[in-house]
Amino acid sequence: MDLRPSVVLFRKAILKAKVDGFQFDSLDSFPVNCCEFSSYLLAKFLIEKIGLSSLKIVTGENRHKKSQRHIWIKFDDTDIDITANQFSSTDRTVIVEAHSQWHQRFEIIKVENPSPKLTQLNKEAKFALLYDYKKILSCLAYNDDSVRTIQK
């Protein structure tokens, strides 16, 4: 299953939706300082629209710069990241690869199961992100049927 096309389209939809601003203010600086919340939204998309299960949200701490943390998605052995280019160590806007070399710089300190209902968030953050998620979906360049076609 090649997830890359769907992940790239989701990232492009975030950038398109960003033009008018988000209700959840942190997303306005995408991809900078919003790896956690954009990972939650991407996980929601991958679960609900692509039909994936067994996703994990991973938090890592840079092995060489302990003050630097990053959050991304893992699907089995595949690292999925749409915010890596916020760091000077890569210019890649989307990473979808097994055992990503770039992610090896991070020591994993937390792994959690994403909730597509965003139940891990407080009421205000959840409401704002769900609103922004709908906005992002409206910016996708295809419909649900073509998302499934990409995956086949």
Structure tokens at 127: 């409401």
Of 9, 43, 37, give the one whose Cα is nearest residue 23: 37
CA 78 remoteness from chain centre:
13
Q: What is the pLDDT along the chain (152 residues), one digit of tens a residue?
A: 899 999 999 999 999 999 999 999 999 999 999 999 999 999 999 999 999 989 999 999 999 998 999 999 999 999 999 999 999 999 999 999 999 999 999 999 999 999 999 999 999 999 999 999 999 999 997 555 545 444 44
H, E, C per residue of 71-87: EEEEECCEEEECCHHHC
pTM of the model: 0.92
